[in-house]
Amino acid sequence: MASERYDSCWLRYEASIDDERLESYRRRCLHVYASDGAPELGVVREELRRGLEGVFGREPHLWHHPPRSADGFLAVGLPDEMRPITESVDVEFVRSLDDDGYLIRAVEWEESDCLVLTAPTDTGLVYGTFHLLRLLATGEPIDDLEIVEEPANAERIVNHWDNPFRGLVERGYAGQSIFDWERLPQLDERYADYARLLASVGLNGLCVNNVNTKIPGREGANEVVSQQAGWQLLESANLEKVAALAALFRRYGVRLYLSVNYASPMLIGGLDTADPLEPAVEEWWAEKVAEVYDLIPDFGGFVVKADSEGQTGPYDYGRDHAEGANVIGRAFEPYDGRVWWRAFVYSDHEDRAVQAYETFEPLDGAFDDNVTLQIKNGPIDFQQREPVSTLFGAMPETALGCELQITQEYTGQGVHACYLVPQWKEILEFDTHAPVEGSRVADLLADTPGQGIAGVGVVGDDPNWTGHYLAQANLYGFGRLCWDPDLESETITDEWVALTFGTDPEVRETVSRILLDSWQAAIDYHTGGIGLIHMMYNGETALENHYDPSPEEWPEYTGVSEDGIGVDRSSSGSDYAGQYREPLASRYDSPETCPEELLLFFHHLPWEYELADGTTVIQRLYDGCFDGVERVRVLRQRWRSLEGRIDERRYRHVAERFDEHAHQAVRWRDTLCAFFYEYSEIPDEAGRIPIEEC
Ligand code: GCW
Give the pLDDT confidence of 499-511 residue by residue, as tens digits: 999 999 999 999 9
Does CATH place domain 19-149 in 3.30.70.340? Answer: no
Express as a percent the part of the chain with pLDDT over 90: 91
Of 166-170, 321-325, 558-562, which gets the smallest average pLDDT? Answer: 166-170
Other CB atoms within 10 A of residue 46 CB: 15
In the reported structure, the alpha carbon of residue 196 is separated from the centroid of ligand 1 by a whole-number distance in angstroms of 27
In the reported structure, the alpha carbon of residue 344 is separated from the centroid of ligand 1 by a whole-number distance in angstroms of 9
Task: Over range 431-440, report the average pLDDT.
Answer: 97
Helices (H), 260-371: 264-267, 279-295, 321-331, 355-360
pLDDT score at 223: 43
CA distances from 479 to 268, 406, 415, 585 (A): 34, 10, 22, 32
Task: Over range 350-365, report the average pLDDT.
Answer: 97
pLDDT of residue 219 exceeding 50: no
Of 54-63, 218-227, 267-276, which gets the smallest average pLDDT? Answer: 218-227
Protein residues whose CB sits closer than 6 Å to any atom of ligand 1 = 161, 170-171, 210-212, 305, 309, 344, 381-382, 409
pLDDT score at 38: 80
Q: Give the residue extent of every domain in the chain.
A: 19-149, 155-495, 523-567+604-680
Report the nearest atom of ligand 1 relative to the CA of 212.
Answer: 8
In the reported structure, the alpha carbon of residue 305 is separated from the centroid of ligand 1 by a whole-number distance in angstroms of 10
Query: Which of 262, 268, 261 minimizes the C-alpha distance to 237?
Result: 268
Report the nearest atom of ligand 1 relative to the CA of 309.
Answer: 14
Query: Best mutation site among 159, 163, 171, 215 for ligand 1, i.e. most ligand atoms within 8 A of its Cβ?
Result: 171
Query: Best mutation site among 170, 384, 408 for ligand 1, i.e. most ligand atoms within 8 A of its Cβ?
Result: 170
Sorted by sequence, the CB contacts under 8 Å of residue 80 that are 6+ apart come out as: 86, 91
Work out whether strand 31-34 and strand 605-606 pair parallel, antiparallel, or are unpaired: unpaired
Query: Best mutation site among 213, 231, 381 for ligand 1, i.e. most ligand atoms within 8 A of its Cβ?
Result: 381
Query: Which of 134, 190, 49 minimizes the C-alpha distance to 500?
Result: 134
Query: Best mutation site among 214, 347, 409, 536 for ligand 1, i.e. most ligand atoms within 8 A of its Cβ?
Result: 409
pLDDT of residue 650 exceeding 80: yes
CA distances from 507 to 491, 497, 514, 639, 658 (A): 15, 8, 10, 9, 17
CA distances from 239 to 185, 196, 288, 294, 653 (A): 9, 23, 10, 10, 39
In the reported structure, the alpha carbon of residue 161 is separated from the centroid of ligand 1 by a whole-number distance in angstroms of 9
* Mean pLDDT of the chain, nearest integer: 95
Q: What does the alpha-carbon distance between residue 76 and residue 126 come to, in Å, rounded to a whole number?
A: 10
Nearest CA to ligand 1 atom 1: 381
Tens of pLDDT along 564-623?
A: 999 999 999 999 999 999 999 999 999 999 999 999 999 999 999 999 999 999 999 999
Task: Over range 73-94, report the average pLDDT.
Answer: 96
Q: What does the alpha-carbon distance between residue 337 and residue 261 come to, in Å, rounded to a whole number?
A: 17
In the reported structure, the alpha carbon of residue 115 is separated from the centroid of ligand 1 by a whole-number distance in angstroms of 47
pLDDT score at 134: 98
Nearest CA to ligand 1 atom 12: 381
More confident residue, 205 or 65: 205
When pLDDT is cut at 50, 70 and 90, the band that residue 218 belongs to is very low
Which one of the listed residues 320, 381, 429, 553 is annotated catalytic?
A: 381
Tens of pLDDT along 444-458?
A: 999 999 999 999 999
Report the nearest atom of ligand 1 relative to the CA of 456.
Answer: 13
Nearest CA to ligand 1 atom 11: 212
When pLDDT is cut at 50, 70 and 90, the band that residue 691 belongs to is low
Tens of pLDDT along 519-542?
A: 999 999 999 999 999 999 998 777
pLDDT of residue 694 exceeding 50: no
Model pTM?
A: 0.97
Q: What does the alpha-carbon distance between residue 99 and residue 112 come to, in Å, rounded to a whole number?
A: 30
CA atoms within 13 A on the CB side of 47: 30
As its CATH architecture, domain 523-567+604-680 has Alpha-Beta Complex (3.90)
- 155-495, CATH topology level: TIM Barrel (3.20.20)
Exposure string of 636-673, with b = 16+ CB inside 10 Å and e = fewer, is bebbeebeeebeeebbeebeebbeebbebbbebbbbbb
Active site residue 381: yes
Report the nearest atom of ligand 1 relative to the CA of 376.
Answer: 13
Q: What does the alpha-carbon distance between residue 538 and residue 560 come to, in Å, rounded to a whole number?
A: 18
Q: Which contacts (CB < 8 Å, 24+ apart) does range 375-379 have?
A: 375/343, 375/400, 375/401, 375/402, 375/403, 376/343, 376/344, 376/403, 376/405, 377/402, 377/403, 377/404, 377/424, 377/427, 378/427, 379/352, 379/353, 379/354, 379/576
Query: Which of 299, 332, 222, 317 minimizes the C-alpha distance to 263?
Result: 317
Compute the CA torsion angle 592, 594, 596, 599 (nearest 10 deg). -100
CA atoms within 13 A on the CB side of 277: 10
When pLDDT is cut at 50, 70 and 90, the band that residue 154 belongs to is very high
Active site residue 309: yes
Q: Which contacts (CB < 8 Å, 24+ apart) does range 655-661 have?
A: 657/415, 657/416, 657/417, 657/468, 657/469, 657/470, 658/417, 658/632, 660/415, 661/412, 661/415, 661/416, 661/417, 661/632, 661/635, 661/636
Query: Which of 115, 171, 77 minimizes the C-alpha distance to 410?
Result: 171
pLDDT of residue 693 exceeding 90: no
Nearest CA to ligand 1 atom 2: 381
> Is there a cis peptide before residue 422, judged by omega within 30 degrees of 0?
no
Task: Over range 684-694, report the average pLDDT.
Answer: 73
Active site residue 409: yes
Task: Over range 262-266, report the average pLDDT.
Answer: 96
pLDDT score at 690: 63
| Region at 395 (left for phi over 0; alpha for psi -120 to 50; beta for the rest) | beta
In the reported structure, the alpha carbon of residue 367 is separated from the centroid of ligand 1 by a whole-number distance in angstroms of 24
Which one of the listed residues 368, 409, 589, 623 is annotated catalytic?
A: 409
In the reported structure, the alpha carbon of residue 355 is separated from the centroid of ligand 1 by a whole-number distance in angstroms of 16
In the reported structure, the alpha carbon of residue 307 is separated from the centroid of ligand 1 by a whole-number distance in angstroms of 13
pLDDT of residue 55 exceeding 80: yes
Tens of pLDDT along 459-477?
A: 999 999 999 999 999 999 9
Which one of the listed residues 110, 291, 309, 488 is annotated catalytic?
A: 309
